[in-house]
């Protein structure tokens, strides 16, 4: 399990007794938080920092510990912040500055100067906050009594974002082919992606996957078919086409494992040696948290993998989606989102059906795919675009809705949603911001998670929500 270091600051000025109490309070706090967050992260209580040497030591240790995804800092007493400069300069892990106290209420009847000297985070955390701001350190400040539910949930959300950032750093992404010819928004600066997010993005020939697919055995395909049988409803007589997808599925899993790949892209213009566009196989992989971007969209694929990691343990789905077409009825405008094939069953409102239909473009055989209506509820759509000088994230709130009428002739899975604050403002804002037609949609994550991700990666973020005006 990944770790967060809990670092408490103080100083030598107060003497042994006070420092003992500081250590005991920190240990109690960590014990309590571990009880609450045990499914998410392990918090490690470190010894109280009293001077510049100790500050530098613990910050270097956190930076070098590969299982440490971030730190929680708290100034129980005053802790003069010049002693933190060297340490903070050495710290390369995300920080949550917890502005809290060991005590919830003031002991009005008994409070004296000893109590004030011991419990002065109102004082010490301001001094520490100043030096963080002066040093330009991007961090999350969480305020409140540590046993309060909202504080615990903010620490949990920070831990999940920190775990996702740790995963992002050094993540390997495979592009089968390049991006779709002439398409602008799916392209991007792969070197900058690696510098900023740690995504190691590399080209592979589709032949690398075909070679593995050709070696897949009938028995391996049988096993994959029985896995499908448990999860999906077989609604086609073209078993041969489904078995072909099962073969791709086994091959993709082998490839991902062999190359340690967390996200991949393909391109329907480059399928040499495959008889179908991967559909069902990609859909199923997405539902397991493997990042995917269609048409060579490596940014969306990689972002999807990172956001799936962030959403682990939460209810709801997270996956690649595409804006497709609208119902423009005045006052009740809706968007229909889908793709040629690749919609994650993480969004299915009921048991997905395996169907085989011809594809309008690409000139390949009819591919097997999962078809379903999408879930309802609140969600977000997040995209990343390359502005040339920097990456930009755009995050829009959406309301996923029930499909108002059946669409019996539509041979792909689909979601429908309403835009926020209203259709015209939401759509115009997205377009003015330069938002893509590809996005990662999540019913598990909140705008706040994306804000934190953007802050900690120093990425420009445009949020489209209830308060948006053009
Ligand atoms: Mn697309």
Taking the C-alpha atoms of 120, 121, 127 and 129 in order, what is their torsion angle to the nearest 10 degrees? -170
Would you give the DSSP letter of residue 348? B
From ligand 1's centre to the CA of 330, what distance in Å? 27
Distance from C-alpha of 390 to C-alpha of 384, rounded to nearest angstrom: 10
- The pLDDT value given to residue 360: 79
Distance from C-alpha of 180 to C-alpha of 10, rounded to nearest angstrom: 57
From ligand 1's centre to the CA of 283, what distance in Å? 14
From ligand 1's centre to the CA of 186, what distance in Å? 9
From ligand 1's centre to the CA of 294, what distance in Å? 6
From ligand 1's centre to the CA of 146, what distance in Å? 45
- The pLDDT value given to residue 181: 96
From ligand 1's centre to the CA of 351, what distance in Å? 24
From ligand 1's centre to the CA of 246, what distance in Å? 23
Q: What residue ranges of the chain have pLDDT lower than 70?
A: none
From ligand 1's centre to the CA of 4, what distance in Å? 38
- The pLDDT value given to residue 403: 96
pTM: 0.97
CB atoms within 10 A of CB 316: 16
| DSSP bridge partners of 321 | 439
From ligand 1's centre to the CA of 60, what distance in Å? 44
Distance from C-alpha of 354 to C-alpha of 160, rounded to nearest angstrom: 34
From ligand 1's centre to the CA of 339, what distance in Å? 6
From ligand 1's centre to the CA of 297, what distance in Å? 8
From ligand 1's centre to the CA of 125, what distance in Å? 48
From ligand 1's centre to the CA of 338, what distance in Å? 9
Instruction: Write out pLDDT tens, residues 371-386.
Output: 999 999 999 999 999 9
CB 329 within 8 A of CB 214: no
Q: Hey, what are 219's tokens?
A: 């028995």
- The pLDDT value given to residue 302: 98
Contacts of residue 190, Cβ cutoff 8 Å, sequence gap at least 6: 199, 201, 298
Q: Which of 282, 299, 302 is nearest to 291 (CA)?
A: 302
From ligand 1's centre to the CA of 323, what distance in Å? 8
How big is the chain by its Cα radius of gyration, in Å?
25
From ligand 1's centre to the CA of 344, what distance in Å? 14
From ligand 1's centre to the CA of 249, what distance in Å? 20
For 397-418, b where at least 16 C-beta lie within 10 A, e where not — what string? bbebbebeeeeeeebbbbbbbb
Dihedral sign, CA of 293, 298, 304, 305?
A: positive
Q: Which of 432, 434, 442 is nearest to 468 (CA)?
A: 432
Q: Which of 208, 189, 330 is nearest to 258 (CA)?
A: 208
From ligand 1's centre to the CA of 438, what distance in Å? 6
Q: Hey, what are 399's tokens?
A: 């309301």
Instruction: Write out pLDDT tens, residues 259-271.
Output: 999 999 999 999 9
Domains present along the chain, CATH in parentheses:
3-168 (3.40.50.10940), 172-464 (3.20.14)
């Amino acid at each position: 399990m990944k770790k967060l270091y809990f670092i408490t600051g103080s100083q030598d000025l107060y003497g042994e007794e006070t420092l003992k109490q500081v250590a005991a309070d920190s240990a109690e706090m960590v014990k309590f938080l571990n009880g609450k967050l045990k499914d998410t992260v392990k918090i490690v209580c470190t010894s109280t920092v009293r001077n510049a040497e100790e500050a530098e030591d613990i910050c270097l240790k956190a930076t070098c510990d590969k299982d440490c995804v971030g730190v929680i800092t708290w100034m129980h007493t005053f802790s003069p912040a010049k002693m933190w400069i060297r340490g903070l300069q050495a710290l390369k892990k995300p920080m949550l500055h917890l502005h809290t106290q060991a005590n919830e209420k003031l002991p009005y009847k008994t409070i004296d100067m000893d109590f004030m000297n011991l419990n002065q985070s109102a004082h010490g955390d301001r001094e520490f906050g100043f030096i963080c701001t002066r040093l330009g350190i991007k961090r999350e400040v969480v305020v409140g009594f540590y046993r309060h539910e909202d504080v615990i949930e903010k620490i949990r959300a920070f831990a999940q974002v920190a775990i996702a950032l740790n995963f992002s750093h050094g993540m390997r992404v495979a592009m089968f082919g390049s991006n779709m010819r002439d398409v602008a928004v799916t392209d991007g600066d792969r070197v900058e992606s690696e510098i900023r997010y740690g995504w190691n993005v590399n080209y592979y020939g589709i032949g690398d996957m075909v070679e593995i697919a050709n070696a897949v055995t009938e028995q391996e395909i049988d096993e994959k078919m029985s896995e499908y049988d448990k999860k999906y409803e077989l609604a086609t007589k073209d078993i041969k086409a489904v078995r072909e997808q099962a073969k791709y599925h086994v091959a993709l899993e082998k490839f991902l494992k062999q190359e340690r790949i967390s996200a991949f892209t393909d391109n329907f213009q480059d399928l040499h040696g495959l008889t179908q566009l991967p559909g069902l196989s990609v859909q199923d992989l997405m539902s397991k948290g493997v990042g995917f971007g269609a048409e060579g969209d490596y940014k969306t694929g990689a972002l999807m993998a990172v956001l799936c990691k962030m959403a682990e343990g939460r209810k709801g789905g997270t996956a690649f989606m595409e804006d497709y077409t609208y119902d423009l009825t005045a006052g009740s405008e809706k968007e229909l989102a889908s793709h040629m094939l690749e919609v994650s069953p993480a969004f299915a409102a009921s048991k997905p059906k395996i169907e085989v239909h011809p594809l309008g473009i690409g000139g390949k055989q009819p591919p097997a795919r999962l078809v379903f209506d999408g879930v309802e509820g609140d969600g977000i759509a997040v995209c990343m675009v390359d502005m040339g000088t920097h990456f930009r994230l755009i995050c829009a709130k959406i309301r996923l809705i029930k499909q108002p009428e059946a669409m019996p002739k539509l041979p792909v899975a689909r979601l429908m949603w309403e835009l926020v604050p209203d259709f015209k403002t939401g759509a115009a804002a997205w377009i003015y911001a330069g938002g893509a037609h590809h996005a990662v949609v999540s019913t598990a994550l909140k705008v706040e998670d994306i804000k934190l991700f953007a802050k900690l990666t120093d990425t420009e973020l445009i949020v489209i929500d209830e308060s948006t005006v053009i």
